[in-house]
Amino acid sequence: MSRRRSEELRQRLAQEAARVLAEEGIRDFFAAKRKAMQRLAIDRSQSRGVMPNNVEIEAALNEHLRLFQSDSQPDRLRKLREVAIQAMRLLESYSPRLVGGVLDGSATLHAGVNLHVFADTPELVLMHLLDQQIPVDTDERRLRRQDDSYADYPVYRFLAGDVSVDITVFPDRERGQPPRSPVDGGPMRRAGLEEVEGLLAEEA
Give per-residue pLDDT as tens, 62-75: 999 998 888 889 99
pLDDT reported for residue 133: 96
Q: Give me the mean pLDDT over the 155-161 stretch.
A: 97
**For residue 194, which of 112, 31, 85, 66 has the smallest C-alpha distance?**
85
Give dist(CA 158, CA 137) in Å, integer: 6
Give dist(CA 85, CA 194) in Å, integer: 9
Give dist(CA 9, CA 56) in Å, integer: 13
Q: Give me the mean pLDDT over the 17-41 stretch.
A: 89
pLDDT classification of 46: cutoffs 50, 70, 90: low
pLDDT reported for residue 141: 96
Coil vs helix vs strand at 106: coil
Distances (CA, A) of 90 to 125, 128, 165: 11, 9, 12
pLDDT reported for residue 58: 93
pLDDT reported for residue 43: 76
**For residue 100, which of 161, 200, 167 has the smallest C-alpha distance?**
167
pLDDT classification of 49: cutoffs 50, 70, 90: confident
Per-residue model confidence as pLDDT tens digits over 93-136: 999 999 999 999 999 989 999 999 999 899 999 999 999 999 99
Quick one: CA dihedral 35, 40, 45, 48, positive or negative?
Answer: negative
pLDDT classification of 187: cutoffs 50, 70, 90: very high
Buried-exposed string 100-133: b where 16+ CB fall within 10 A, e elsewhere: bbbbbebbbeebbbbbbbbbeebeebbebbeeee
Q: What is the enclosing helix (H) or strand (E) of 170?
A: strand 163-170
Q: What is the enclosing helix (H) or strand (E) of 163?
A: strand 163-170
**For residue 125, which of 111, 136, 109 has the smallest C-alpha distance?**
136
pLDDT classification of 28: cutoffs 50, 70, 90: confident
